[in-house]
A and B are shown apart, each in its own frame.
Chain A
């Protein structure tokens, strides 16, 4: 049997900021959803189902918030699914929604992911003490810093690479009106002089805490034919998971990430990702993850990722732009961050990315990961329908 091709015809984001005190959680998600509908020139009545995702409920202190949000998202009388796969959730949520279309269960689906971090403190939300379990060591930075150090040791990368990524992403963010951080006076020297938080990760190489939401309207061939603007077509999508803690785990380049990318490339007929993919929105919450994921995703040989970064290949005007939007380093509403990557990839192939548009982007990868690098979700979108 064949799957129905899936098209992205509407994309909406909020302007990500440290605290949206002017709206409730419902108001925040509604804003992104309405923008996605407006982009698709559809109404709430055109939506057949809603798939919503966010990272842990403890971040806002609302258990299973989809129940409360049903009204705000026009879901009353419709199916509503709630996905939660840690930091990869924004991507996973989009893939679950895409499967509803691919399986021909529904024709047009709204998918949305959000986080309103100002409602609580994510650092402590991640650090609840549990008996008989390894503590996460004060938020995510404490967990990931040793793995960054391992990458540096393994590859011999000079310790300046991380700051190059942060400087690039923050400059890209200046071209993205929705990005949280717009640091107009940032210089490379300032990144390098910022305080050391979790050695080797400096303050300016970490993601902010943001309030924000991202929504997409996904539809089938018939829906895409009616769309007012060019659709982005899903060419491949996959999720992979591996255990958090076990002796065989490679925290620098997890097997689940490699397998997930390989599955996406197989579906999309990508033989050489470096040549066949035009740009990447990847999940880089700490700057060093750009060179690490370049290797994990097959854009560089093992130990070579940092050389692409250093050579400027991943700059907005480089040969393989990475995080044109400014990435997670410039806006991190955690639950939404994965979906923003997926949505920004779609914006690029639709030619709708505005000032941070990559000329001629035809195939763009959206990437998300979560937990202790054990959950991965990715999709590759293109300007051409896969069966055309």
Chain B
């Protein structure tokens, strides 16, 4: 019998273009307090803690160690860290809860893109011998993917513009979002992508609390049960991938049980409008599904936290009773190389 595990609390910062006056720890602390306060738990009540972040954003080795000091790891805690988006930290925590060694877990992630040029920083993710020395940036790589979609007749520029406009219009209801309301589609960033097809660059943090079984019910009126969660990676070389498709997202969704019954809501980590097009097809999301009611990554994309925020937003919709079955997705790497899908459900009403 598999253990039932749920997201019982979620908090995020107001995502901003720059937070120069705050250290990463100062940015993170209010969010940690918020999820703990939401559940009434204290640090000492948490059985397992896991975080996600990247040294390259901070510009220093072991950047996560100071965040741990902020968590208040005393007496010592059972704790781990992934150098990935926080969605994968949540996956590790979910695994830990499944083993029965922990009943509650705190998951958090954060990223400050403002100290450097995230467009340049992300080029350091690429094959270090053959690709990274050319400094192809994330927008240019996404533009290759967008052009492949247009060439394949899958979408066109007006359709992409509509994705951006819908996202930022929906973000009007999300006080945490960075870009909200009517935002002009703008000039070309890299053809065929305009600034409106690209995510804002910003700083932010997020935190989630997971709990198992009855513990979850005692901490949350309507827990968001994780019915399935899976992640898959694809080849790194863009030349060996069909950029108009996302087989890894499809497989992760299948393994997470996403196709067993329809979802009412999907939170997709699609930093570029064109990537939403790819994901909608791979995840078989038709127009009956509300996609990114939070505004998604086009409204706020704090690198390393944006994926965890998708899970948090999907869960929060269930907590509020606005959703009964939601799909949450996170991505990593160039052109959707790695994808995670979680299926969340509330108890029947």
Q: Which residues of A contact B81 (CB under 8 A)?
A: 83-85
CB distance from A377 to the nearest CB of B (A): 9
Q: Which residues of A contact B77 (CB under 8 A)?
A: 240-242
Which of A63, A75, A255, A259 touches B56 (beta carbons < 8 Å)? A63
Bound-state Cα–Cα, A81 to B92, Å: 9
Give per-residue flags for A47-85: 1 if the beta carbon is below 8 A from chain B beta carbons, else 0: 000000001111111111111111100011111111111
CB distance from B328 to the nearest CB of A (A): 16
B interface residues, tally (CB under 8 Å): 64
Answer yes or no: A339 CB below 8 A from chain B CBs. no
Among listed A98-106, A149-157, A197-205, A270-278, interface-contacting one: A98-106
Cβ contact within 8 Å between B74 and A246: yes
Cβ contact within 8 Å between B59 and A62: no
Q: Which residues of A contact B121 (CB under 8 A)?
A: 63
Task: Check A64/B92 contact, CB under 8 A, given A132-B23, A240-B78, A374-B68.
Answer: no
Bound-state Cα–Cα, A76 to B3, Å: 29
Give per-residue flags for A259-272: 1 if the beta carbon is below 8 A from chain B beta carbons, else 0: 11001000000000
Answer yes or no: B140 CB below 8 A from chain A CBs. no
- Beta-carbon nearest neighbor of B92 in chain A: A96
Answer yes or no: A24 CB below 8 A from chain B CBs. yes
The 7 closest A-B pairs by CB, nearest first: A56-B61, A103-B98, A256-B76, A84-B83, A241-B79, A63-B124, A63-B56
CB distance from A90 to the nearest CB of B (A): 13
Q: List 13 A-B contacts (CB under 8 A).
A: A2-B100, A57-B56, A61-B124, A67-B236, A81-B88, A83-B82, A83-B92, A99-B92, A99-B96, A103-B99, A240-B79, A241-B68, A256-B73
Answer yes or no: B235 CB below 8 A from chain A CBs. yes
Bound-state Cα–Cα, A100 to B49, Å: 17
Which residues of B48-80 have CB atoms within 8 Å of chain A's CB atoms?
49, 54-56, 59-62, 64-66, 68-69, 72-80
Bound-state Cα–Cα, A82 to B98, Å: 19
Answer yes or no: A137 CB below 8 A from chain B CBs. no
Task: Check A241/B23 contact, CB under 8 A, given A81-B91, A85-B81, A102-B99.
Answer: no
CB distance from B109 to the nearest CB of A (A): 13
Which of A24, A76, A86, A246 touches B129 (beta carbons < 8 Å)? A24
CB distance from A261 to the nearest CB of B (A): 11
Cβ contact within 8 Å between A77 and B251: yes
CB distance from A206 to the nearest CB of B (A): 19
Q: Which residues of A contact B88 (CB under 8 A)?
A: 81-82
Cβ contact within 8 Å between A96 and B60: no
Q: Which residues of B contact A83 (CB under 8 A)?
A: 80-83, 92
